[in-house]
Amino acid sequence: MRTGWLKMSDGNGNPDRRQASRRFPGVEWERTPQPFIRVDGDSCDGCARCLRVCLAGCFKISGGKARVSTLDECMECAACWFVCERDAIIFSWPTGGNGYRTDWG
């Protein structure tokens, strides 16, 4: 388990697929079966706008292009998609019951 993550259980002491972060209290993530954000390497010019707007640090620059490094703490805000002037971010909402959840509604 990574540092900064809290262990979650199903209430019976069994681990489940949820993750909670010390970095974002009151928020948990249900692991998605497949990535819901991708970068089209042919369209990406490496401007790094996605890196600058992503509070969760989901992106990195590799080989002069943006790449998704992790979606573990993605808040599904779509800011990366919105700021990409080259339409290189391919964003689709996670399927129901997966992804970001919060205690605040």
Tokens standing for residue 55: 């509070």
Q: 5-102 adopts what CATH topology?
A: Alpha-Beta Plaits (3.30.70)
- The Cα 2–Cα 96 span in angstroms is 26
Residue 4 is predicted with a pLDDT of: 42
The pLDDT-based confidence of 102 (bands split at 50, 70, 90) is low
Tell me the CA end-to-end span of the chain in Å, nearest whole number. 27
For the entire predicted model, the pTM comes to 0.70
Instruction: Look at residue 49 and give its three-state secondary structure.
Output: helix
Q: Please say if the pLDDT value at position 78 is more than 50.
A: yes
Q: Please say if the pLDDT value at position 71 is more than 90.
A: no
